[in-house]
A and B are shown apart, each in its own frame.
Chain A
Amino acid sequence: MSNRIDVKKTYKLYINGAFPRSESGRTYEVKNAKGVFVANPCLASRKDLRDAVVAARAAHAGWNKVTAYNRGQILYRIAEMLEGRRGQFVEEIVNVTGVSKVKADKEVTDSIDRLVWYAGWTDKIASLAGSTNPVAGPFYNFTIPESMGVVAAIAPETPSLLGLIDVIAPIITSGNTVVVLASTKAPLSAMTFAEVLATSDLPAGVINILTGKKDEIAPWMASHMDIDALDISGLPAKKHAEIKVAGAENLKRIHSFKSADPGRIIAFMEAKTVWHPIGL
């Protein structure tokens, strides 16, 4: 046993491809299942949310334009990076949540597999959710699904890594960018996942990760007029009405889900129908 003192990681936010501290300077204490202090992650403020939305909005045009094939490769690349660091994630999950190593290992495995699954959807979802429409006239008419823009999301408390990936992967698969609030009690794997993202060819701003309190951030997400849609899967059901009322101000599309499904991708896409005459 060496006497070496560990170099502990400072957990920060992930905004626009960088790792800033909260502009508020606030942190909160995360303890493990046994009540032992683990880390002081950032307690994100509404201004951090604002900055993250600016980054996500700026990134949308570019990410939306990336070919579906390329988006798939980047999602796959994220899975590759995660696979390469799986040990670290297993250890972190065990340490923070107190679950067994077997269970933590399964969560990481599922997380990787989930990313691979969505990677394969990028260039298939349009065929599934689009259509050509045989209108009664000399027109070529087709419907294509498109990304909506900036989607904000609340990740579920548990499982902290898989839950995070379950909300963000379907959102970005179609070309949306995302601002996600990680699990409050177990935010560390989300911030470590940000390190994976930072090394996996994902353009800055496509995924922005905040840590903090749902009650504080969710209402600001709901009222933010430059957010197009919300995934509130991670919010308790009793809070949904309040968020939906606030979100009505710009008619945000607000959804929550119970499973991984292509419907999750489609829910954050808009169907666009194009008409063009057919003639000589």
Chain B
Amino acid sequence: MTFEYAPAPESRAIVTIKPKYGHFIGGKFVACSKHFPTINPATEEVLSQIALAGKADVDAAVKAARKAYTTTWSKMSGKERGKYLYRIARIMQERAREFAVLETLDNGKPIRESRDTDIPLAAAHFFYHAGWADKLEYAGLGTSPKPLGVAGQIIPWNFPLLMLAWKVAPALAAGNTVVLKPAESTPLTALLFAEVCQQAELPAGVVNIVTGDGSTGALIVNHPGIDKIAFTGSTEVGKIIARAVAPTNKSVTLELGGKAANIVFDDAPIDETVEGIVNGIFFNQGHVCCAGSRLLLQENVAEEVLHKLKNRMEKIRVGDPMDKNTDVGAINSKEQLAKIIELVAVGDAEGAERWSPACNLPSKGFWFAPTIFTGVTQAHRIAREEIFGPVLSVLTFRTPQEAIEKANNTPFGLSAGIWSEKGSRTLWASQQLRAGVIWANTFNKFDPTSPFGGYKESGWGREGGRHGLAAYLKGVSHE
């Protein structure tokens, strides 16, 4: 007999999902006339009807944010602002399981990840930034740092609450107020966060949340009452935003796409490397801008690593995201699944060799088996374009220089991985790689103290740490 794990579903009873939500403006939920459904991508069940913000809603949110900025938030001492952020952090910790379950239902990510990664890190971001609120003059960003005003923040669907935290926590700590738009397909945890703001008695209008689609995002980007745009999403949309704000005085930070090289040298600690490869590309279904989606293997260990990787992939548990033993959950949306399928077909057509472990995918919902392509070269589209799914392209190299050349041969520059037991080579490689985050003998690690952001077309600015704070304060030398 084999050791089959019986289903171990997390209980859904902890969350209450309303049939319909409005926007959160000026400290209150306000009704909206237009709605769209948000679904559970693992089952296609409609979870709730979400308000679609138009011009009037965005105007109201910006107005509320401006009022809160001028009358309350910019006048409050950093010490007091910080206490609100501490409160938020604590309430998020108290309601962590509720957030985790809701995130998994709305996003499709495994409960293990929302429970052990997304939610704790989101709370940690608030706790970390709370402490900055009354220490901004010590951040090395000028002796009298000033907030920018009202920040418009547009976040993606891959880490809904965590990206909210990355945006809202530093903005508030620096003394800005915000209008935040969660992603169209994952609005629920942001709306639960609105309740947290109410429980924390955050002054009305400091955080405003409007839901909607790309058109709502465009209204925020182009709104004349907004001083700063913070966006996480595709490079394509990032460029549109960069053009849109060019004639304005808006500050902008962008966290965009990536096609990270994960480089394995022949002296790598093999078993941990295989874990790192799996974590690099299959974490969160590969819906990660910094995913290690290009595996670069030194030729003399390529066969061994691939063999071990395939064996390891056989153990990946794909399925019900609510099951505590699930490793890879559902693809977030029908559209994203279609995009993955399209690029995988391109990989096939270009002659790369595709392999997936046998896995029983559920009949309902959006699913894609963990997949690797071998025999990929830099000329393949699957080695250049972001797939944003559980699909790994495997390339080989002969010398450290060749590895670096291949790794840097992309307009992206968000992250990269290095696997080696040789310290001097690791440091050399980390110096040569043109990417904002380098993981050596680890991958996909995040921390509020650790700046995150990309070189080249992967974005502008950093989030997290002292560097991330600069994105929400007036520059000392800029015009």
Chain A residues in the interface with B (C-beta under 8 A): 128, 131, 133-137, 139, 141, 143, 146, 148, 228, 233, 237, 240-242, 244-245, 247-251, 253, 255-259, 261-264, 267, 270-277
User: Nearest Cβ distance between residue A127 and chain B, in whole angstroms?
Assistant: 10
What are 12 A-B pairs at a CB distance below 8 A? A131-B467, A133-B451, A143-B450, A148-B455, A228-B456, A233-B479, A245-B243, A251-B256, A267-B475, A271-B436, A272-B437, A273-B451
Q: How large is the interface on B (under 10, 10 to 19, 20 to 34, 35 or more residues)?
A: 35 or more
Q: Tell me if B246 and A136 are in contact (CB < 8 A).
A: no
> Other CB < 8 Å A-B pairs besides A250-B411, A267-B478, A276-B441, 9 of them?
A136-B447, A139-B442, A139-B445, A237-B479, A245-B243, A259-B477, A271-B451, A271-B467, A272-B437
Considering only CB atoms, which chain B residue lies closest to A260 in the complex?
B477
Least Cβ–Cβ distance between B420 and chain A, in angstroms: 10
Docked-complex contact A241 and B477, CB < 8 angstroms: no
In the complex the two chains form, what is the Cα distance from A202 to B188 in whole Å? 57
B352 within 8 Å of A by Cβ? no
Q: Check: B106 CB closer than 8 A to any chain A CB.
A: no
Residues of A within 8 A of B430 (CB): 272, 274
In the complex with contacts A251-B238, A274-B430, A257-B479 CB distance below 8 A: yes
7 closest A-B pairs by beta carbon, nearest first, are: A263-B477, A244-B246, A248-B242, A261-B477, A241-B247, A135-B447, A133-B449
- A128: B residues at CB distance < 8 A: 140
Closest to A238 in B: B247
A241 to B445, CA, bound (A): 37
B466 within 8 A of A: yes
Residues in A whose Cβ lies below 8 Å from that of B452: 273
| B435, CB-defined interface residue at 8 Å | yes
Q: Of the candidates B460, B466, B475, B478, which one forms a contact with A251 in the assembled complex, judged by CB atoms under 8 Å apart?
A: B460
Question: In the complex, which residue of chain A has the Cβ closest to the Cβ of B452?
Answer: A273
CB distance from B216 to the nearest CB of A (A): 22
Interface residues of B (CB under 8 A from A): 124, 140, 235, 238-239, 242-243, 246-247, 254, 256, 411, 426, 430-431, 435-442, 445, 447, 449-453, 455-457, 459-460, 462, 465-467, 475-479
Which of the residues A133, A141, A261, A276 comes within 8 Å of B476, measured between beta carbons? A261
The smallest C-beta distance from A87 to any residue of chain B, in angstroms, reads 32
Could you tell me if B447 and A141 are in contact, using CB atoms closer than 8 angstroms? yes
Given A131-B467, A257-B477, also A273-B450 (CB < 8 A): yes
A273 touches B441 (CB 8 A): no
Chain A residues positioned under 8 Å from B243 (CB to CB): 244-245, 248
B463 to chain A, nearest CB (A): 11
CB of A267 to closest CB in B, whole Å? 7
Complex interface: chain A residues within 8 A of B439 (CB): 275
Asked if A135 and B436 sit within 8 Å, CB to CB, the answer is no
Question: B142 — nearest CB in chain A belongs to which residue?
Answer: A263
A237 nearest in chain B by CB position: B479
Asked whether A257 lies within 8 Å of B478 as measured between CB atoms, the reply is yes
Nearest A residue to B466 by beta-carbon distance? A131
Q: How far is the CB of B454 from chain A (nearest CB, A)?
A: 8
Of the candidates A128, A248, A259, A261, the one having the most CB atoms from chain B within 10 angstroms of its own CB is A248
Whether A251 and B438, one on each chain, are in contact in the complex, defined by CB atoms closer than 8 angstroms, is no
Bound CA–CA A249/B236 (angstroms): 9
Are A272 and B435 touching (Cβ within 8 A)? yes
Are A143 and B467 closer than 8 Å at their CB atoms? yes
Chain A's closest residue to B248 (CB) is A241
Nearest CB in chain B: distance from A232 CB, A: 10
* Smallest Cβ-Cβ distance to A276: which chain B residue: B440
Q: Is the CB of B441 within 8 A of A277?
A: yes
> Judging by beta carbons under 8 Å apart, are B442 and A275 in contact?
yes
- Chain A hits for B447, CB < 8 A: 133, 135-137, 141
- Looking at the assembled complex, report how far the CB atom of B417 sits from the nearest CB atom of chain A, in whole angstroms: 10
How many angstroms between the C-alpha atoms of A232 and B243 in the bound complex? 16
